[in-house]
């Protein structure tokens, strides 16, 4: 997915990710291309985009915030790959249910 998660609030983003989880094989992978906010109060382009996205019901997230919603949807974050100055590819793996 590219540029999708930031369009949604946390609850809707989790629903979207759960639908992805239900659609892939048990050990399938999901790649998310997104921007990540810095965890500090440092001014950056992402902070502006976060305010802009809030106007439309979405939001930018830090790596920890994104990991939380990814985990809530049945995925685990394998790695975060810097792709450009602001873009990242988040590699996620479906959590296998052993029950």
pTM: 0.78
Q: Catalytic residue at 27?
A: no
Residue ranges with strand state E in the chain: 29-37, 61-62, 75-82, 87-94
**Domain limits of the chain?**
5-94
Q: Which residue has the tokens 């239900």?
A: 22
Condensed to tens digits (0 to 9), the pLDDT of residues 56-94 reads 556 788 899 999 999 999 999 999 999 988 789 999 999
Q: Which CATH number is 5-94 given?
A: 3.40.50.150
Given 6, 27, 33, 96, the catalytic residue: 6
pLDDT of amino acid 42:
55
pLDDT at 9 over 50: yes
């Amino acid at each position: 997915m590219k540029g999708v998660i930031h369009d949604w609030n946390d609850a809707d983003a989790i629903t979207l990710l759960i639908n992805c989880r239900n659609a892939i094989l048990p050990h399938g992978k999901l790649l998310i291309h997104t921007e990540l906010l810095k965890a500090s109060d440092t001014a950056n382009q992402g902070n502006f985009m976060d305010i802009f996205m809030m106007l439309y019901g979405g939001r930018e997230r830090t790596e920890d915030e994104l990991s939380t919603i990814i985990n809530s949807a049945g995925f685990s974050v394998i790695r975060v790959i810097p792709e450009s100055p602001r873009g990242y590819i988040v590699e996620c793996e479906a959590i296998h249910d052993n029950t």
